[in-house]
Structure 1
Amino acid sequence: MGRHLDRAKAFFGRDTNGLLEGGRYSLLHSRSLEFDDLRPYVPGDDVRDIDWKATARSGDVLIKRFVSEKHHKILVVADAGRNMLGLSPSGERKADVAANVIGALGLITLRRSDQIGMVFGDSRGCVDIRLRRGETHLEYMLTRYLDHVRDHPGRSDVLTQLRWVCEHYRHRHLVVVVSDEPDTGERLDAMLSRLTPRHDVMWAMTADHPIVSSTDDDIGGYDVDGGAHVLSGVDLGFDVVAAYEEAEEARREALWEAMTTRAVPYAVFEGSRGIRSGLVGMTGVFARAG
């Protein structure tokens, strides 16, 4: 594997079993005549797939898993704008966390030889990498993405990339958006109302490093988008820090409501070490949605 994909594997691991399975969104396995193996039952699975003999022997409800006869199409839509130059709570650049998330998604596709493509960019436009398979293709995607972020990116606006998908991808895909936490409001709601009827959508969000951690914090911040410096907690004082924390809580609630209303599973990643648990949780919700 290439260095970018190897880095993603270091955080995600090798085991991709059990991801994106169950319900009507069985992306890695579906009913066919070729038996694969057994796995524990999860809500949303078809009860016709329960292996009753194996269940009786083990004491746990086990599901027959079949090899998929159909390869699937996964489209990553990624923000490659200036926002991704910021730091995540782990201290990593958000672009590096995002690349590791994308690499982990690619590792999931390798086992089933699913097709994966990518649309990324900033407010100025999009780069469209068509769907293909294989490690070389995945490494190419990651290299192009990181090169764009590191080479004078424009202002972040992932809705520009989502608009491109709405206009150019007519057939159904699993669309996985990778960006920072989006601003809620009419623009986001209008875009999701166009996107979700046509595609299955999940959203992987890279968290921002807190602007202010406490009134004891004497280190200021920096806005990578606007270029402005941010005062420290000591300089801002208790009232301003408290108002900031209240606004952050309201923002998180609004984001949850926006995604839940449109039935978009999402996960917030504070660093690369949380990639596996975040993807397992997000894809588990998605798999049981049917």
Structure 2
Amino acid sequence: MAALLPRVKSKMFIFAHRKVRGLLDGEYGSVFKGSSLDFDDLRAYVPGDDVRAIDWKATARHGSPLIRRYVAVRKQNVLLVTDTGRNMAAAARGGETKKDLAVLALGVIGLLAQKHGDPVGLVSGDATGSRHLPAQSGEAHLERLLRDVDGASLSAPPSRLQGQLEYIASTFGRRMLLFVVADEVMADAGLEKILRRLRAQHEILWLTIRDAELANAEMGAVGADTFSVDDFSPLLRRLAGSPAVARSYAEAMQRRDGERSAMLRRVGISEGELGSSADVMPALFSLLERHRRGG
């Protein structure tokens, strides 16, 4: 079986030149704002920076706004969180499987964490339960985590990401950075409640992998209908080709997306989204930047 980490590294080089990779590394380094911080350096203020970070004395000497940057004097544990139920074996918007995109996104964050000396662990699972691989360092360990995620298949039990989040809330007491890669989950009171509980203790970043479009039922073999991996119900081509059905479907998905985004905003969690492997690097950069700026 081919190793997964080299694939992640190759994608990083294909879809981001050196400057962008450096910026991504810098954004990662600024995410965790613990109570134990050391002054690092000054840099020019850019619109969107927290005005509370402006060093007014240095600004007066320099003649233009400068902000103070800090680094954490302690390392953080990074916990990768993802669903490995059968929903993640479905096709994403770009046609690749969701689990393949999850492996890439989690792999990039894992590599950034290890570059900063941060141990990385994983919580994954499905509707039947959760698995925890404790945080460690080293590429061999990260490869093991990615292999667990790559195990998602159509024969797996149904997905239930809320179960993994509940497991984290009941198991971990130490403050961590949670990086969640999720299907297009639906907002509800129970999910919002557990997210509020987790957000009170942890930093949380949320990346949503977008579903394939209904019209992409045409990706199936000639004469074959696709199906929902949630309950294996058929998605008939003649329905996918109906303008009325397509319009109703699009409206329902828009409502679902809006409700999920609103829920995450209410609890103070930054969300990004991607639909293909080409989206991974820009989506992660935007997500880290949005989190650093507080929204």
Match of 2:245 among 221, 240, 262: 240
**Are 2:168 and 1:165 equivalent residues in the alignment?**
yes
Asked if the contact 1:37–1:66 (Cα under 8 Å) also holds between the matched residues in 2, the reply is: no
Asked if the contact 1:118–1:141 (Cα under 8 Å) also holds between the matched residues in 2, the reply is: yes
Q: Say which structure, 1 or 2, has more relative contact order (CA 8 Å, 6+ apart).
A: 1
Name which of structure 1's ranges 12-21 and 260-269 shifts more when overlaid on structure 2.
12-21
Q: Classify 1:132/1:40 alpha carbon distance in 2 versus 1 (closer, same or farther; 3 Å).
A: farther
Amino acid at match of 1:3: A
- TM-score, length of structure 2 as denominator length: 0.83
Q: Classify 1:213/1:136 alpha carbon distance in 2 versus 1 (closer, same or farther; 3 Å).
A: closer
**Are 2:4 and 1:4 equivalent residues in the alignment?**
yes
User: Which SS does the other structure have where 2:156 is aligned?
Assistant: coil
Distance in 1 (alpha carbons) for counterparts of 2:61 and 2:225: 60
Deviations 1:152-181 (A, max 9, x none): 321100111111000001121111111211
The gaps in structure 2 that reach 5 residues or longer are 14-20
Q: Which residue of 2 aligns with 1:19?
A: 27
Asked if the contact 2:30–2:71 (Cα under 8 Å) also holds between the matched residues in 1, the reply is: no
Asked if the contact 1:22–1:288 (Cα under 8 Å) also holds between the matched residues in 2, the reply is: no
**Are 2:204 and 1:201 equivalent residues in the alignment?**
yes
What number of residue pairs does the alignment pair up? 280
Distance in 2 (alpha carbons) for counterparts of 1:63 and 1:81: 44
Distance in 2 (alpha carbons) for counterparts of 1:276 and 1:209: 20
Match of 1:110 among 109, 114, 122: 114
**Are 2:188 and 1:182 equivalent residues in the alignment?**
no
CA RMSD of aligned residues (A): 3.1
Matches within 5 A, 1:22-171: 22=30, 25-26=32-33, 31-32=37-38, 35=40, 41=46, 43-44=49-50, 46-48=53-55, 65=69, 68-147=72-151, 149-150=152-153, 152-171=155-174
Q: Classify 1:235/1:223 alpha carbon distance in 2 versus 1 (closer, same or farther; 3 Å).
A: closer
- TM-score, length of structure 1 as denominator length: 0.84
Deviations 1:53-96 (A, max 9, x none): 9966xx8x665655542111111111000000100111111000
Amino acid at match of 2:116: R
Name which of structure 1's ranges 262-271 and 44-53 shifts more when overlaid on structure 2.
44-53
The gaps in structure 1 that reach 5 residues or longer are none
Q: Classify 1:243/1:143 alpha carbon distance in 2 versus 1 (closer, same or farther; 3 Å).
A: same
Deviations 1:82-140 (A, max 9, x none): 00010011111100000101001011112210121110011111110111112121111
Amino acid at match of 1:177: V
Distance in 2 (alpha carbons) for counterparts of 1:37 and 1:277: 26
Higher helix share: 2
Asked if the contact 2:42–2:66 (Cα under 8 Å) also holds between the matched residues in 1, the reply is: no
* Amino-acid identity (%): 24
Q: Which residue of 2 aligns with 1:228?
A: 233
What is the CA-CA distance between 1:274 and the residue it aligns to? 0.7
Q: Classify 1:64/1:252 alpha carbon distance in 2 versus 1 (closer, same or farther; 3 Å).
A: same
Name which of structure 1's ranges 229-238 and 153-162 shifts more when overlaid on structure 2.
229-238
User: Which SS does the other structure have where 1:120 is aligned?
Assistant: strand
Distance in 1 (alpha carbons) for counterparts of 2:28 and 2:196: 23
Q: Classify 1:262/1:89 alpha carbon distance in 2 versus 1 (closer, same or farther; 3 Å).
A: same
Distance in 1 (alpha carbons) for counterparts of 2:43 and 2:235: 54
Asked if the contact 1:54–1:62 (Cα under 8 Å) also holds between the matched residues in 2, the reply is: no
